[in-house]
Chain A
Amino acid sequence: MIARLYAGYALFFTYKMVVEHMIKIDNLTYRYQADGPTALDEISLSFNKGDWVSVIGHNGSGKSTLVKILMGILEGYTGNITVDGEALTQDNIQDFRERFAIVFQNPDNQFVGATVEDDVAFGLENQGLPREVMIERTEKALSAVNMLAYRRHAPARLSGGQKQRVAIAGALAMEPDVLILDEATSMLDPEGRNDILAILDEIHKTRTTTLIYITHDLSEIEKSDYAVIMKDGRVINEGSIEHIFSDTDILIESRLVLPYQMQISRAFLDGRYVTHDELVARL
């Protein structure tokens, strides 16, 4: 027992030493209007390089505001943000922005190109890549989301789920250091959603890209290394997925709903998180 504990500690320290913070946020506070309410209220968080971090929380809890600040879209916050060990300032934010990619909540706010392929390539234009590489990356990203057949379509003339796929392709093509998805799968059909989760899985395995994944779907957070729950502009819980699921009161307080397996487990079993198959076996 002691030996195991000791091994655990040793592992923990090695981990701490190796892992670097990709993003570190200290005391971040933001108001949309100077005299208005705080949309973010003294938030402190750090995201490890290569981690998949899920961000959840009720409507209006501050999720999109947080990522818009990281993207340099909103200015005038107080607090400190460090990216890859370097403090974020007005002067260097532009450089960092090229290493970040975001898929917005509403893909229509994102499209700039006249065709699907122009749109995906547009994001690459600032990266100074040779034309062949741009074409190659565009095609690769579009086929990853199954939209290559639509390359010459106008983004406006796509169905809702098709728009979301193209928006995701645009971010993937940039091969960013930090990939942010703000409810980017909300209108995908199950297959489309699984495709995207599988792509993210692949990216995650390389541990070179930090993933920030905003969602309202608790079943989607299972794959992440770390989750953050926001409420009224504050972080009210954070940690591993096991930790997040173990405090059901906080989940309920944040307007989340327990997955059906947990509701049933609470009625008939020990109330802990179980998979569908475990549930079938134990009922």
Chain B
Amino acid sequence: MKITVDGLTSIYHNNTPFEHTALNNFTTSFEPGKYYAVIGRTGSGKSTLIQHLNGLLLPTRGIVQVGDLTLKHRTKQRIIHQVKKHVGMVFQFPEHQLFDETILKDVMFGPLNMGLTEEEAEARAEKYLSLLGVPERAFGRSPFDLSGGQMRKIAIAGILAMEPEVLIVDEPTAGLDPKSHIEVMDLFKQIQEDFNITIILVTHDMNDVFEYADEVKLLAGGQLIREGRTEDILTDEKLLTDHHLEIPDIVRLVHDLERKGVVFEGMPRNTDAFITSYREWRALHAQ
């Protein structure tokens, strides 16, 4: 499912004294089956942009095209409901997404809402809860009686259980312990490959962007500054620094080693790949 954003302007509290333009004449597109990262400093408009992609916010001006559904200034609730079936979103503060009395019911809600039977919805919920490492004995507990990181996993399971064609995740690993962080990121990648879905990741973690994303969209002040392949954008140290972003650890390490004469064939995308590359380089230069 392709998403096209055309001339999108988004103004919060338009025509009031609190009027604030969060996105200004924004044009871009998201191709089916690709993994995108949306990056930019605090307040650059990332969360605002992605909320337009599933109809949570509607354009002040311009259009958002989701497959053959069009979102405009006054789009009807019926259309928005259709969009939400295809585009799943995990919010920046996922606690807001939880509401049911048990964990299991909470995760079943999305699939049921899409028209699945009770049994199908339960099977989906169990599948995704266990993929996220939530033990079966916890299914009957209230989603509110959990730690911050545990709540986030339930919110993620709730969206994955809908098996959306486009999965949008806003800072999905904030609050997860480092091991869960890796598990969740690997799970998204796995799902993207298995179901050939689109992923749109919003994050400040440039190591994750470098490791997982195919394409990057860089925002600043509500505008699209650059878009393109991850390997081009995240290795551009000046571009990143100019926009107050971090350089991925491995990029920094590889660039620093290059200055010492240690030059690899390609650019490793994570620490394990770096270790392999360096081992090969050493073997080659052992004599």
Residue ranges of A at the interface with B (Cβ–Cβ < 8 Å): 32, 57-61, 63-64, 105-106, 108, 153-154, 157, 159-162, 165, 183, 186-192, 216, 218, 254-257, 260, 263-264, 267-268, 276, 279-280, 283
Q: A59-B149, A105-B148, A190-B244 are in contact. Are A280 and B176 (CB under 8 A)?
A: no
Interface residues of B in 123-169 (CB under 8 A from A): 145-150, 153
A137 to B278, CA, bound (A): 52
A188 to B42, CA, bound (A): 7
B146 touches A255 (CB 8 A): no
Contacts of A32 in B (CB 8 A): 145
Q: A187-B204, A283-B262 are in contact. Are A257 and B178 (CB under 8 A)?
A: yes
Q: Please pick, from A59, A157, A218, the residue contacting B176 in the complex, using a CB distance under 8 A.
A: A59
Q: Report A40 CB to chain B, min CB distance, Å.
A: 12
Q: Report B115 CB to chain A, min CB distance, Å.
A: 32
Q: A160-B92, A263-B275 are in contact. Are A189 and B244 (CB under 8 A)?
A: yes
Q: A280-B260, A283-B262 are in contact. Are A187 and B171 (CB under 8 A)?
A: yes
A162 to B178, CA, bound (A): 24
The 26 listed contacts between A and B (C-beta, < 8 Å) are A59-B147, A60-B149, A106-B95, A108-B96, A157-B18, A160-B93, A183-B148, A186-B175, A187-B171, A187-B174, A187-B204, A188-B42, A188-B204, A189-B41, A189-B42, A189-B204, A190-B246, A191-B244, A192-B42, A218-B178, A255-B178, A255-B180, A260-B249, A264-B275, A267-B278, A280-B253
A232 to B93, CA, bound (A): 25
A60 touches B245 (CB 8 A): no
B250 in the interface, Cβ–Cβ < 8 Å? yes
B171 touches A160 (CB 8 A): yes
Contacts of B43 in A (CB 8 A): 159, 161-162
A57 to B179, CA, bound (A): 11
A190 to B39, CA, bound (A): 12
B250 touches A257 (CB 8 A): no
Contacts of A189 in B (CB 8 A): 41-42, 204, 244-245
A157 to B257, CA, bound (A): 44
- Scan B1-24; emit 1 where CB is below 8 A from any A CB, else 0: 000000000001100001010000
Q: Please pick, from B92, B180, B257, B274, the residue contacting A187 in the complex, using a CB distance under 8 A.
A: B92
Q: Report B231 CB to chain A, min CB distance, Å.
A: 18
B229 in the interface, Cβ–Cβ < 8 Å? no
Q: Please pick, from A59, A64, A108, A153, the residue contacting B180 in the complex, using a CB distance under 8 A.
A: A59
A60 touches B204 (CB 8 A): no
A165 to B42, CA, bound (A): 10
A61 to B150, CA, bound (A): 11
B271 touches A263 (CB 8 A): yes
B178 touches A216 (CB 8 A): yes
Q: Report A250 CB to chain B, min CB distance, Å.
A: 14
Contacts of A276 in B (CB 8 A): 249, 252-253, 256
Q: Report B82 CB to chain A, min CB distance, Å.
A: 28
Q: Report A204 CB to chain B, min CB distance, Å.
A: 23
Q: Please pick, from A187, A216, A260, A280, the residue contacting B250 in the complex, using a CB distance under 8 A.
A: A260
